[in-house]
């Protein structure tokens, strides 16, 4: 009997109108959407489930669906996606009174309103609530954002908190050891006093979790009333000399350092300061980012090398 040869034609699931190439580069729709800078991968799942995503004109609602971005036309709310060739990574000093979201039915100010001159769509990495100010990262790189927001990554986030009245050591110790929020205890935190005032005290708290309004709720759990809350550090990044509404682009070393926080050498600050840009709604003179305190400075800001008075005598 002569051999029988059978040929197969492979088509992409859900998209019968367009056969796949012999060599297809199929990716999950969540990844394609986040790579286009629309939103994070997790939020992309909500878009798919809501029926807001189409591939070659067909509505897709299954989270396991894939497509080839080089061949298939993927749309969100009827608008085709464009994959940017260059990823953007931005550090913004978020002012109080701005929402960390891409849309608000009430028309309140959004953090992206401060970045109109960027010219490309970016979205926040995590969030700061309406009344919280400080360091906020935004990017068009969905993979990078998803990695930073994953609980396993454990990026340190430091906040300076001003509270009404006096802070007692027992309250700081409670937050450092963990307090219960929604029936689950928070992870250990680093907490220390910054400044004691007549009516308000300042303290610092460093956490690596990302629960909703976590710092405010930790303060509430120990009967502290927050007057002002500012994020001052994310991983190895600080705001430097940025003022509210200003932003700068991250360097390649900073992006790599956040991707792998254990490689501290990759996060070394650039020798030349990064350019600082003011938002369109808050035009001020451009300022370079402040240089970090050198590691050889002591806690009091003085140089730690021996002085002439205490330097050991030279050998004859």
Domain boundaries, the chain: 1-83, 89-238
Q: State pTM to two decimals.
A: 0.63
CA 308 to chain centre: 46
Supply 143's token pair: 């993979």
Helix (H/G/I), strand (E/B), else coil: 238: strand
Distance CA 113, CA 95 (A): 12
Query: Pairing between strand 246-249 and 89-94?
Result: antiparallel
Q: What is the pLDDT of residue 75?
A: 93
∠ at Cα 267 (262, 269), nearest 5°? 155
Catalytic residue among 103, 104, 129, 182: 129
Q: What is the pLDDT of residue 150?
A: 80
Q: What is the pLDDT of residue 278?
A: 60
Q: What is the pLDDT of residue 305?
A: 41
What is the chain's pLDDT, residue by residue, as a tens digit (316 residues)?
444 433 333 334 444 444 444 445 688 898 888 777 677 778 889 999 999 999 999 999 999 899 988 788 999 999 998 766 678 999 999 999 999 988 889 999 999 999 988 888 898 998 899 999 999 999 988 889 888 888 777 889 999 999 999 999 999 999 999 999 999 999 999 999 999 988 999 999 999 998 889 999 999 999 999 999 999 999 999 999 999 999 999 998 999 999 876 544 334 443 333 445 565 444 333 333 333 333 333 333 444 444 444 445 554 4
Q: What is the pLDDT of residue 8?
A: 33
User: 48 vs 51, 79, 101, 258, 260, CA distance in Å?
Assistant: 5, 14, 18, 29, 30
Q: What is the pLDDT of residue 299?
A: 37
CATH class, 1-83 region: alpha beta
Per the annotation, the verdict on 104 as an active-site residue is no
Architecture per CATH, 89-238: 2-Layer Sandwich (3.30)
Q: What is the pLDDT of residue 102?
A: 86
Query: Pairing between strand 53-55 and 27-28?
Result: unpaired
Distance CA 110, CA 118 (A): 15
CB-based contacts of 183-186 (< 8 A; 24+ apart in sequence): 186/211, 186/214, 186/218
């Amino acid at each position: 009997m002569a051999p029988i040869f059978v040929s197969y034609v492979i088509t992409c699931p859900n998209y019968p109108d367009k056969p796949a190439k012999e060599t297809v580069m199929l990716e999950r729709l969540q990844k394609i959407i986040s790579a286009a800078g629309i939103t994070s991968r997790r939020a992309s799942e909500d878009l798919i489930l809501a029926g807001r995503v189409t591939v070659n004109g067909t509505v897709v609602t299954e989270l396991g669906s894939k497509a080839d971005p080089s061949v298939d036309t993927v749309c969100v709310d009827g608008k085709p996606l464009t994959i940017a060739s260059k990823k953007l990574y931005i550090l913004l000093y978020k002012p109080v009174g701005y929402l960390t979201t891409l849309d608000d039915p009430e028309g309140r100010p959004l953090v992206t309103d401060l970045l109109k001159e960027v010219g490309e769509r970016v979205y926040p990495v995590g969030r700061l609530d309406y009344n919280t100010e400080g360091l906020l990262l935004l990017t068009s790189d969905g993979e990078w954002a998803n990695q930073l927001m994953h609980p396993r990554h454990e990026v340190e986030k430091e906040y300076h908190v001003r509270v009404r009245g006096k802070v007692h050591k027992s309250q700081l110790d409670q937050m450092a050891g963990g307090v219960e929020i929604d029936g689950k205890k928070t992870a250990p935190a680093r907490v220390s006093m910054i400044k004691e005032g007549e009516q308000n005290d300042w303290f610092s708290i460093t956490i690596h979790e990302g629960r909703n309004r976590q710092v405010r709720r930790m303060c509430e759990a120990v009967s502290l009333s927050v007057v002002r809350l500012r994020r001052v550090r994310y991983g190895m990044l600080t705001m430097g000399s940025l003022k509210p509404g200003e932003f700068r682009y991250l360097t390649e070393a900073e992006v790599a350092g956040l991707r792998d926080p254990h490689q501290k050498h990759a996060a070394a600050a650039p020798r030349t300061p990064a350019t600082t840009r003011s938002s369109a709604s808050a035009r001020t003179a451009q300022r370079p980012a402040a240089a970090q305190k050198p590691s050889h400075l002591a806690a009091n800001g003085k140089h730690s090398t021996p002085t002439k008075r205490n330097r050991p005598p030279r050998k004859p």
